[in-house]
Each structure stands twice: as structure tokens, then as C-alpha cells.
Amino acid sequence: MEFIVVLRKAEEGGYWAEVPNLEGCFTQGDTVEEVLNSAKDAISSHLAALAEDGQVIPEEGRVIVATVRVPQPV
């Protein structure tokens, strides 16, 4: 399975990431590589918890990523 992972720079340093298709699935790390590796573990744990609770695993691709251009404020 593949999931979109959104990375953001953390104010205190490092990065944090969220998985939009898995509500409540977040992780963090000091480097991009670390946070991506941590995301794999977070996703696996999240999916295992959903399965254990008898919940449906969300479909991949429910998230659309797009860029919107707006004029810069004057």
C-alpha cells in the first residue's frame, strides 16, 4: 500500500509529518529521512489498530494534492 505523507518543518527544529488518508496519523523526526522512516512505522501501527478495532482501512487516493496560484498581496 502507498500513502501520501505531508512533511512540514517544525518550529523547534526537525520535521513533522501527517498522513492525510489516515486521520490522526502523525510522526516526527530530526531529518527528512528519519521522518519518512518513522512514517512507515506510524502507518503500519495505525493500520494495525484499525484492523484490531474492526474498522475499515481507508482507501488510498482519497487525497488530492494541487497547487493554487494567487496574486501576492500589495
Average pLDDT over residues 1-12: 93
Q: How many angstroms separate the CA atoms of 17 and 15, rounded?
A: 7
pLDDT digits (tens, 9 = 90+) for 41-56: 999 999 999 999 999 8
The domain 1-74 having CATH identifier 3.30.160.250: the answer here is yes
Per domain, the residue ranges of the chain are 1-74
Using CA of residue 57, residue 43, residue 22, residue 2, what is the dihedral sign? negative
Arithmetic mean of pLDDT over the chain: 92
At residue 25, the pLDDT reads 96
pTM value surpassing 0.85: no
Question: What percentage of residues in the chain have a pLDDT greater than 90?
Answer: 78
